[in-house]
Amino acid sequence: MTLELRAGIIGTGFMGSVHAHAVRAAGGEVIAVAGSSLASAEASASALGARTAAESPEALIARADVDVIHICTPNATHADLARKAIAAGKPVVCEKPLATSVEDARELTDLADRAGVVTGVPFVYRFYPAVREARDRILRGDAGRLWLLHGSYLQDWLVGAEATNWRVDSTIGGASRAFGDIGVHWCDLMEFTTGHRITRLVAKTSRAYDQRKTGGRLSSVATEDGATLLFETDKGATGSLVVSQVSPGRKNRLWFSFDGTEASFSFNQERPDTLHVGTTESSSEIAVGPQTLTTPGGRRYAKLPPGHPQGYQDSFNSFVADVYAAIQGLTPEGLPTFRDGLRAALITDAVVASAAQQTWVDVSGTDAPFELLKSSSAAERQKQ
Ligand code: NAI
Ligand code: SOE
């Protein structure tokens, strides 16, 4: 199989760089980058290892020597750029959130289906080997009946009224900030790992700072610093989630515990080299490595011996490698696509509505079967 895909990357910030590394790790080449101006693309092209800077995102999408488009720009620009990439008939990896409205996310999903282009949305925490190990063990029944699904996603990069970013502005980042930016990762991970889907939820959003400094002066903030959720799932579990971007000392602490009648599984993204498995007789930390993990999913994504932690960039590399395999006609199991981006938009919509109405809200679109469980390999695994 050849994986020498030629990529074009739009957006040259944090994620532009992460995508560029992952493209090369997958055997691809970064042909061109585009930014908010030609000057910004030119300034970043060599750092990102690109052959050239494109004049604009549109010029990059139109290039005959670019096979696949990566969209790594602020949230509100995603829908327009993804539409253009699909119209050009090119596979597209679009950063989360796929769009800042359900309508756009649904339209993009339909357009991509009709055009038959491969899509990817980087719900990248699915690609930790410990997560795949937990998922395989849970789906084969090791946890017993999952009844309590809980966790948190905490960061501290928005501590202080001086701290700001485009994500704080709802016209660029979307109506929900803390939940829309990081809560969606947790919900995706929970649904992916357990096979449960959130049917209804109640959310309370709040702010540590009502004003933040932008352009040298304090202005009012419309987006939340944190969100607290209670939810129910289609398989009868209850759950809770705390999300915050103002939790001093927590850098990128995505943590979950999925508790069943036989065992609980928990994982901390900041300590990705272990998976905690608890039973009434034992409480063990399983070291991550191809020799120590026992399930197909865990082994597939564990590339280094135990004690040599694989981290965020490694997971990203695995994600892009799977997207590129899909472009070449394979069907890697568990690849997050535009459909998962739409799912995240529906949950975010429910969080925003619940917080505004101060009431439980149904998550629409939950009646469709969980996409990943339809795939034969997952179904096979459930039979084991
Ligand atoms: P960033 O602020 O570091 O970079 C954004 C880049 O987009 C900058 O290079 C900027 O010049 C460029 N840009 C802005 N407007 C543009 C336009 N109209 N056309 C072309 N380029 C434009 O932001 P970051 O952290 O890289 O985030 C980008 C996206 O990636 C966001 O949607 C964010 O939610 C997502 N993200 C996803 C992560 C994941 O784990 N999947 C991790 C971090 C971010
Ligand atoms: C900032 O909160 C951020 O970079 C998010 O945008 C990403 O999606 C998350 O993976 C890490 O934190």
Distance 13 CA to ligand 1 centre (A): 6
Domains of the chain, each with CATH number or no CATH = 6-120 (3.40.50.720), 126-309+337-362 (3.30.360.10)
Q: What is the pLDDT along the chain (384 residues), one digit of tens a residue?
A: 455 899 999 999 999 999 999 999 999 999 999 999 999 999 999 999 999 999 999 999 999 999 999 999 999 999 999 999 999 999 999 999 999 999 999 999 999 999 999 999 999 999 999 999 999 999 999 999 999 999 999 999 999 999 999 999 999 999 999 999 999 999 999 999 999 999 999 999 999 999 999 888 999 999 999 999 999 999 999 999 999 999 999 999 999 999 999 999 999 999 999 999 999 999 999 999 999 999 999 999 999 999 999 999 999 999 999 999 999 999 999 999 999 999 999 999 999 999 999 999 999 876 554 544 433 333 333 332
Q: Which atom of ligand 1 is nearest to the CA of 125?
A: 40
Distance 100 CA to ligand 1 centre (A): 14
Distance 181 CA to ligand 2 centre (A): 6
Round to whole Å and give the CA distance between 181 and 193. 20
Q: Is the CB of 95 under 6 A from ligand 1?
A: yes
Distance 59 CA to ligand 2 centre (A): 28
Q: For position 382, what pLDDT does the model report?
A: 36
Q: For position 383, what pLDDT does the model report?
A: 34
| Pocket lining for ligand 2, CB < 6 angstroms | 155, 181-182, 185, 252
Q: Is the CB of 194 under 6 A from ligand 1?
A: no
Instruction: Tell me which ligand sits closest to the C-alpha of residue 121.
Output: 1
Q: For position 380, what pLDDT does the model report?
A: 37
Q: Kindly state the tokens that stand for 114.
A: 């009709």
Instruction: Tell me which ligand sits closest to the C-alpha of residue 94.
Output: 1
Total Cβ atoms within 10 A of residue 165: 16
Distance 275 CA to ligand 2 centre (A): 22
Q: Of all protein residues, whose CA lies closest to atom 12 belonging to ligand 1?
A: 11
Q: Kindly state the tokens that stand for 291.
A: 């020799």
Distance 224 CA to ligand 2 centre (A): 15
Instruction: Tell me which ligand sits closest to the C-alpha of residue 319.
Output: 1
Residue of 9, 10, 12, 14 to test ligand 1 pocket, by largest number of atoms within 8 Å of CB = 14
Residue of 187, 252, 313 to test ligand 2 pocket, by largest number of atoms within 8 Å of CB = 252
Total Cβ atoms within 10 A of residue 59: 15
Instruction: Decide: 86 and 155 in contact? Cβ < 8 Å.
Output: no
Q: Kindly state the tokens that stand for 248.
A: 């001093």
Q: Of all protein residues, whose CA lies closest to atom 16 belonging to ligand 1?
A: 36
Residue of 17, 154, 181 to test ligand 2 pocket, by largest number of atoms within 8 Å of CB = 181
Distance 11 CA to ligand 1 centre (A): 6
- β-bridge pairing 274-278 and 29-34: unpaired
Distance 284 CA to ligand 2 centre (A): 29
Distance 281 CA to ligand 1 centre (A): 46
Q: Of all protein residues, whose CA lies closest to atom 4 belonging to ligand 1?
A: 13
Q: Is the CB of 138 under 6 A from ligand 1?
A: no
Residue of 72, 78, 254 to test ligand 1 pocket, by largest number of atoms within 8 Å of CB = 72
Q: Is the CB of 315 under 6 A from ligand 1?
A: no
Q: Which atom of ligand 2 is nearest to the CA of 95?
A: 8
Distance 180 CA to ligand 2 centre (A): 10
